[in-house]
Structure formats: C-alpha cells, structure tokens
Structure 1
Amino acid sequence: MDNAFHDLYEDKVRPYLDFIDSLRALGVDQDLPLPTIVVIGDQSSGKSSVLEALSGVSLPRGGGLMTRCPLELILKNVKTDEWKGMIAYKDYEKKLGDPSEVEREIKTAQDTVAGKNNEISTERITLKIESRTAPDLTLIDLPGIARIAVGSQSHDIEKTIKKLINSYIKKAETINLVVIPCNTDIATAEALQMAREVDPSGERTLAVLTKPDLIDKGAEEQVNKLLRNELVFLQKGYLIVRCRGQQDIDNKMSLSEALKREMEFFKSNKHFRQPLAEKQATVPCLADRLTSELVQKIKKSLSTIESQLQSKVEETNQELASMGDTPSDDSEKKSFLSNKIRKFCNDIIALASGDFSQDFVSDLKLFPFSRECFEKWHCYLKEQESDLETKDDFRNKVKDNVESSYGRQLPGFLHYGVFESSAKYLIRKLEEPALEMQKEISDKVKSVLTELAYKHFAELPKLLKETKVIIDKIRQMQEDEANQMIKTLFRMESMIYTQDAIYSSRVELMEDTEEYSMHDNNKGLMSTESVVSHLTTHLKIYYKIASHRLVDLVPMAIKYYQMQESITKLQGEMFSILQMRDLVDELVEEEGTAAEKRRTLIERRERLNKARLALIKF
C-alpha cells in the first residue's frame, strides 16, 4: 500500500516539479518568471535549520551571514537507499557522493561566486539531492536580512540583501516562505514586513515559526493565536517546527534524531498538541504543505507560461531580424548595407507621409509636435489681433505718429504714411516668433531623424556616425532655406498689399460694427482723435488680412523645407552611400557588443524553443 501510494504521489507531483526544474536548468527564468518557493528570514531566524531538516544535509552555519547568494535546493524523493547529490554554479558542476560533502562545497561555491569578503551575489548556486528521506520539493534560499556590516562587508549590506530578496518575492509567481522565530516580536519581523509589502493580502505568503522551545513561559497562547491566523492574517497561514539548536549540533545530534525529538516535543507540549493534530506542526507537515502549494502554483501557471514562451520567442525573432544576418563576402556586405538603409528610408518616408502603421514611427510624434507648434502660432496671431482691440498702447503709438506728421501734411488728408509705417511695424513684430517656431521644429526634426538612425544603426557605429553627419548637414541646409523663405514672406508683407475687393469687403464689415462711419470726413475737418480712430480701424482690418495669410504660409514653408524636403534629401543621401564601394567594409562593421547581443539572442531563442518543446511533451 505504501509503495502504491508513493507511485501515485509521484505520478501526480513529481512531473510538475521536474518540468519547472528543467525550465530553470535551461535558464528560462532569465526570460520569464517561474513558479517558485523562496525562503526568507531575518538573520539567525532558524532558516538554515529549517532547510537542513527538509533536505537532510548540513548547511553552512556559524556567526554572521552564512547564505551569501541564492541557493536553489532541488529535493527529490527516491525509493532506494542510495544518496545522490550534485552542486552547480557558473560553469562548474560536481557530483557529490556523501551528505557530509555538502556544507564544504556550498562554502567553496559561495567564495567562488560572491568572493571571500562576505559579500553578496545575485548569481545562483544549485544543489540537487536525491534520497529516501527527502521530500519532492524545490525552493530557493535567500540571504538572511542583516542590519550591520561585519568585517570587510560593504556598509550598505542590508540594502543590498533587501534588494536581492525583493527581486524574488515581488513576482506574482513566487510563494514566499517566511521563517520567524517564536521568541521574537513576530508582528514586527522584517522578513514578514517585506513579504506583506509585495503581497498585502497574504495570498502568496506562508509563514513558518521556529524555536518554540525558546518561548517565554506564558507566551504560548500568543503563538497559538498566530497559528490560528488571528493576529497577522495570511491567506496561506502559519506552521510551526522545532529543528536542531546549536547545542543539539554540538552534541552531534543527527537530523533523523532531531525529527523524532521534534515529534515528541509537540506531542508532549499541551500548548501545541492542537496544531500537531491539525497538521500545522513538524517539518514533515511543512514539507507536504510546501510541495502541495508549489504544485498548485505550477498547475495554475502552465497556460501563462505557454503564452509567455510564445511571446518571448516572437520578440526574440523580431530582434534578430532587425539586426540582420552577419555579412561575410563583398556581395553580402553590400546587400546587408542596402537592406539596412532601405529599412531606414522606409521609416523616414512613413514619417514624412504620416503613415503610422509602425509603432516606433508613430511614437516619434513629429506630426503632433509640429501641429501643436502651428496651433500656438495661430493663437499668437489671434492674441496680437485681440491686443489691437483691447490695449491702448497701440492706439497711443498711432496718435503719436499722426501728431508728428502734422508738420508736413495739410489738415483733412488721410495719413496713409502713418498707416503704412504702423502696418509694417505690426507685421515686423511677427517675424521673430515665426523664426523661433521654425528653429523649434528644425530641432525636433533632427532629434526624430537621429532617434530613427539609432534604432536602425546602433550596432553599426560607423554607419550611424555617417548618417548623423548627413542629418546635421541637411538640417543646416534646410534651416537656412526655411529661414530665407520666412524672411522673404515678411519682406513681401512689408509691401502692404491686398486686393481692393478684399479690403473693401472687410471695411464694409467693420462699418457695420463701428459707432462711426469711415467716410464722415466729408462733413468737415476731422479731429486728431477721429483721425486716430479711423487709422486704428484701418490697421485692424489690414492686420487681419495679413495675419490670415501668414497663419498658413509660415507653417507651409516650415513643413515644406523642414519636413518634406529634409526627408527627401536624406533619402537621396542615404542611397548615395551605397555608391561608396571603398567604405562598405567600414560601414557594415559591427560594434563590439553587437556580436555579443546576437549570440545572446540566439541562445535565448534556443532555450525558449527547448522550453516550448518540453511543455509540449509535458
């Protein structure tokens, strides 16, 4: 019956654990989060004792920080009495023939991975154990939370450890096993607080209480309240264990003997008989619970893992495709260069035409930026027009000009010279804002084209440099031409002209809204105030006509020279690069990190595809 139960258990549990372990062995956890149990606790919380009791082997012990990098513990229950072990880290792997080797090998591994100065490393050590007494379980042990640097440790050791712990426990796929000693203020345990920060509801957190034999007399009920989930609520609740203490270790107590003593302790202790009866006490109960929790988590995550693997493979293939194949001979190099330039030109054409089917081009937002600038230009012209209606400054300036002209002009004549000079003054004030807008858009065009160049040529530094030189040259050329056109527009506006019919219609519209007629000069000589009012009205009319021309002509000039012509010329210059045969070798030369990036992407694709195949077989 025991064998039959064991076989059934293995059929239901072991495949899930083996599947996730195989993905982790492939390195898939670099690409997507996998269901995991991580063990965290304050320094000297009894974490090592719990792991020893689960694994059946001794782990590094002593004063100070003993776990200095993540330790992946893969435990497998087997029917035979043969004990097998294996430790792996970096490119090193070693089979272990006896449990007594484990502690020494872990110390050596930590010194290799994290150095001999008690520093912390994020690189993982993997320890696999197969034995008759081991549970079917995989978990990751993380360094205990240390508050004070010891010896040669860096002063920010606590911050470093917390950052490492947080990188694991914040993932939704992680089950957090928090180890808390009973003889401390459990509610304020740092490890529990960290777990609750990333898992406020406690749905991913399971706490295990240690050192129940060290509880002060009378404090047992407080511990039982925790076990009943009445103090600090966790959806997964609490368990309690009693592992070997330092004196037990000094007395050479074996782990099997410690398990027997643990059972006797809970059976004989009146305060903890109930948790034992409810399977909330002892290391074996903890092992069963952890295995059950992990398998449930894996089952729920399978569909997510499948979709994430598919998404990651597609993403990796796209990145590799964007890099192109590594060219070897002259023909391949020219073809490679041609493809790179063609793709770049396709993007800048899409940018100029407003074809935003490609997300990256759309994200550059050149058109929205220019449109916003043109809208600000429109608003500025309207504000200036409004100022003529509401401010006295302009009217006073016209009055000064009228009074200054009396010495040379007989009374009764309209002051056209004053009108003309005032109109030119109004238009001239608009030239500087127009040039500033042109400069702003010129800077944006350069920024956008440079960003596109980096997207396409980041791994080809010499081609990128050549492209940036071309962009700078075209930018300066087109900025000069746009400036010249805008200045020409304003020189044309200085002529003070519009069609008679247009001006007359504007005058008629104005007369309908004014309190006086613009032709009352037939009734006699006009006063200075009347002349100023008439001139001001005429200036308002002419300003509206001129500003209505400029509100479109200035943006059209900028769009033509800065956007359309810049991109057309850039396209021509880029294709002319292909004619520089003596430069092809240099231009397709990759930067040092590009080849490494390609190799990394290929490796990632291989392990993701292996993981997908493993999932299909599973």
Structure 2
Amino acid sequence: SIDKGVANELAFFGQHEYWRKLSPHLWGVPRLSERLVSILQDNIRRSLPKVIAEISTRMTETQKELLRLGTPLESPGAQRQQFGKWVNQYLRLMEAAISGQYELMHPVLGSSSTRTVMPEAHLRAVLRQKELVFRSEIEATQETNGVFGSCDSSSTNSDENVIVGDRVASNGSTTLKQFIQVNRGDELAIFPSYRVFCSCVQRCVRDWELPATKLLEHYHTQTGSTSRHLISALLADSGNVRVQRFFKKTTDRVLSELKESAQRELHLVLQHEARPYTQDQRLYDELDRLRQQALHARLEAALPAGDKHELVSVVEVTRALGGISTGPFGMSSDDREALEMEVALRAYLEVASYRFVDVVPMKLNGVLLESFLREMESELLGAATDEQVAELLQEDDGKAIRRHQLLNELETLENGRQTIENSGYW
C-alpha cells in the first residue's frame, strides 16, 4: 500500500549512511525530485546567455551567407536594376583603365580585389609602352629603308691621287641613282624629279604599315584582356557565370567590329601619308640642316689638314674650294641629283614620321578605345531585353535550394531566441 511504501522509504533513508545525516524534511522522492529540478533550472538559467550568444552568432553567419548569395531577383524591375548596376560598374572600371586613373577602381572593386586585378588593369600604361616601341620602329625605318641605299660621305677610297687631303666624296647612293634613272621619264635632270620624290615617299611609307598594324593588334589584344579580367573581378562574388560569359562574348564581338574599323582608318592614314604634303616649317629647317651637313662633309674632305700650327695657306684653300665643283672632289650630275633627292627625302620623312607617330595612336584611341566604351554601353544596356536579362539572372537549382535552407535555418534560430527571451527563466 501507499502507507507501507512511504514507511519503507523513510526506513531506507533513516538507515542510509548519507541520507540519515540530512534533515528528515529533505527525505523522500518528491523532495529529491524538487531539489534536482531546482538545481537543473539554476544550471539552465546560468547557461542561457551562452545559448543566446551562440544563436546570435549562428544567425549572423547565416545572414552573411545569404548576402553572399545575393538578393533574390524575382521581379523584372529588380533584375534590370541589378544588371544595370553591373554594367555601370564595368564601364567605370574600363574608363579608369583607359584613362590611366587607376585609383578610381578602388570604390568599385574594393582594396583587396583592386590589388589582385591591378597588374592587368594598367591598360593605359601598357599601351603607352607599345606606342614608344611603335615610335622607335618608325624612326628605324628611315635608316633601314632600301630607297637610300648605302652612302658614305667620308670614304677613304679613291681611284686617283689628290693633291690635298686623303678623302673623296662618294658617288652617292647607287640604289637611289638607279631608281631615279628608271623612273624619271621625260622630266629634265636639271632639278630633282617630283614624280620620283613621290614614288620614293610611297615606298618609304609602305614600311610604316607593319609597325602600325602591330600597334593596332596590341590595342585590340590588350583591351580585350583588360576587359575580361575586370569582368571576372567585378562578378566574382556574384557567382553568376552566365552574366560573365555574356559580358565577355559582347567584349569579343564589339572589339572584332572595331578592329575592322580601325584597320580601315589606318589604311586611309597610310594613303594620305603616301601623298607628300605638309605645312610644317620644320621641313625647311631640316632640309637646310641636311644640305649644310652634306656641304660640310665635302668641305672637310677637300680642305687640307694644315701644318703643325693648324695653319693653311690661302692658295691651298682656294685650290680646294675650286676642286669641290670641278676637281677630284666634284660630283657628277647624277650624284648631285641623288644627293639632293636623298636630302629632300630625309627631311620630308623626318617631319612626316613625327606626324604619323602622333596620328596613329590618336586614331586608335578614338576609333577603338573610346568607341569601345560607347558600343559596350549600347550593347549591354540597349540590346539586352527583359527576357534576356531574366534568363541571365535566373538562379540555378543548387543556389535556390541553398537559399531556402538558409532561410529556414534563420527562421528556426529566430524562433528559438524569442522562445528563450519570452520564458520566465531569462
């Protein structure tokens, strides 16, 4: 019976070596249960702040992961807004790379991403180096051009003995003389032929085509590489491969079309350069300088060296000056014509090359780089319809499932925290 059970219980506690030391009012299962429950409640109450802190930490981590997944773009307006934001950021990055204002990339990409992509984003610096190479190649063509041939105005070779000095003026450029003789036609040989001059200029300008084409290729290749790296850096956190692929395909298509336009523009520039024309005063200054240089070389070869005091008699000077035109240092009409033609060509090409190395980068910058920004903005914003944007921003199944799991987890954590806060133990 209950009474007998209670009696047995009291007898047990009274005989137990531990319980008989306690006060009798603490004996019994109900008392023990009450005491244990009280201890358990105290332990739980002391641990609740830690539980709340852990729940808050997990909620923060879950929210960060949701932010990394991005805002769910369910409406066409939200999709178009996000797509437009990416386009605007990309255009700002490309404009900074083209202009060389690399510090403008920091607000868009952040410091860490900017440091990663910065070497590839130095578009203006890289193109500037290529332009310097282009300039040096154009300058080098003036020395290696086959029109001038080989001419040494201070040659020591002579077929006859001369009375003063050792050196004899060379016969001029054999290649140029032959070219003049073949192409002069019915023009008189008493003055340099303008027809031959134009033909020589055209032959020299043809050597400029390869360096200009190489510079165009560098512009095309480097712009595409910079664009693709900036796209990858901008959209890395979004995880949207479709949008990255769309941006890069648009880059390749636009650059391909602009490259063809730039090639046509270069062809027109070369055509214009093949027709000699300038109003640059430097042409006449350079022409006078080269003529004086040629005359100085002949005078230096003809004049006597002088005695130990570097004195020369007037008779010898007069004899040497006369020999420049009629004596062993005189030049034939063919040599004189070739020399005058070479001087005119070098003077004109010196001035024309300055113009060419300035015009080509300016044309490429306008036709390719500036047009690239305008065309990319038009293609990305104008050509992309709402249906295409919706397809590009459509979330894949794995991402959608993960987002749903995180939302459920966040809701569970929030409910648990509210339950604890609303309980009487908090």
TM-score (ref. length: structure 2): 0.58
- CA positional deviation for 1:417: 2.0
Residue by residue over 1:271-301, the C-alpha shift from the partner in whole angstroms, topping out at 9 and shown as x without a partner, is xxxxxxxxxxxxxxxxxxxxxxxxxxxxxxx
Q: Which residue of 2 aligns with 1:544?
A: 350
Equivalent position of 2:25 in the other structure:
none
- Residue 535 in structure 1 maps to residue 313 in structure 2: no
Secondary structure of the structure 2 residue equivalent to 1:326: coil
What is the SS of the residue equivalent to 1:589? coil
Which residue does the alignment assign to 2:390?
585
**Structure 1 position 482 matched with structure 2 position 262:** yes
Could you list the per-position Cα deviations for residues 350-407 of structure 1 after superposition, in whole angstroms to 9, with x for gaps in the alignment?
2233221232563322112111110100111222233369973593331211232466
Is there any run of 5+ residues in structure 2 with no aligned partner, and where?
1-59, 107-113, 152-172, 299-320, 408-426
Aligned match of 1:558 in 343, 359, 364? 364
Distance change in 2, residues 1:480/1:389 (3 Å): closer
Q: Equivalent of 2:277, from 469, 489, 497?
A: 497
* Aligned counterpart in structure 2 of residue 328 of structure 1, from 74, 79, 83: 74
1:354 aligns with 2:100: yes
Aligned to 2:119: 363
Tell me the distance in 1 between the aligned counterparts of 2:347 and 2:190: 22
Deviation at 1:569, TM superposition (A): 1.6
**Residue 372 of structure 1: aligned partner:** 129
Larger relative contact order (Cα-Cα within 8 Å, sequence gap ≥ 6): 2
Residue pair 1:351, 1:361 contacting (<8 A) in 2 also: no
- The structure number with the bigger radius of gyration is 2
Matched, 1:444 2:201: no
Question: Where does structure 1 lack aligned partners over 5 or more consecutive residues?
Answer: 1-312, 603-618
1:385 equivalent to 2:170? Answer no
| Counterpart residue identity of residue 490, structure 1 | L
Distance 1:337 1:450 in 2: 17
Seen in structure 2, the aligned counterparts of structure 1 residues 332 and 391 have a Cα distance that, compared at 3 Å, is same
| AA in 2 matched with 1:505 | D
| Alignment check: 8 A CA contact 2:141 2:208 kept | no
SS of match in other structure, 1:515:
helix
- How far apart in 1 are the matches of 2:405 and 2:204? 63
Q: In 2, distance between residues paired with 1:548 and 1:343?
A: 38
1:16-38 CA distance string (max 9 Å, x none): xxxxxxxxxxxxxxxxxxxxxxx
In structure 1, C-alpha distance between the alignment counterparts of 2:401 and 2:147, rounded to whole Å = 67
Taking the aligned partners of 1:370 and 1:596, their CA distance within structure 2 comes to: 46
Partner of 1:568: 374
Identity %: 18
Indicate how the Cα distance of structure 1 residues 533 and 439 shifts in structure 2: closer, same or farther if over 3 A, else same: same
Whole-angstrom distance in 2 between the partners of 1:410 and 1:596:
90
TM-score normalized with structure 1 length: 0.41
The alignment yields a C-alpha RMSD, in angstroms, of 3.7
Give the length in aligned residue pairs.
284
Do the aligned partners of residues 351 and 594 (structure 1) sit closer, same or farther apart at CA in structure 2, a change above 3 Å counting? farther
Counterpart amino acid of 2:268? T
Q: Is the 8 A contact 1:461 1:590 kept in 2?
A: no
Contact kept, 8 Å, 2:97 with 2:123, in 1: the verdict is: yes
Question: How far apart are residue 563 of structure 1 and its match?
Answer: 1.4
Note if contact 1:398-1:418 (Cα within 8 Å) is conserved in structure 2. Answer: no
Q: Does 1:345 align with 2:91?
A: yes
Q: Name the CA shift for 1:484/1:596 in 2 (closer, same or farther; >3 Å).
A: farther
Following superposition, the deviation at residue 548 of structure 1 comes to 0.5
Written as runs of structure 1 = structure 2, the 5 A alignment for 1:52-91 is: none
Residues 35-77 of structure 1: per-residue CA shift (max 9 Å, x gap)? xxxxxxxxxxxxxxxxxxxxxxxxxxxxxxxxxxxxxxxxxxx
Q: Higher strand fraction: Structure 1 or Structure 2? A: 1
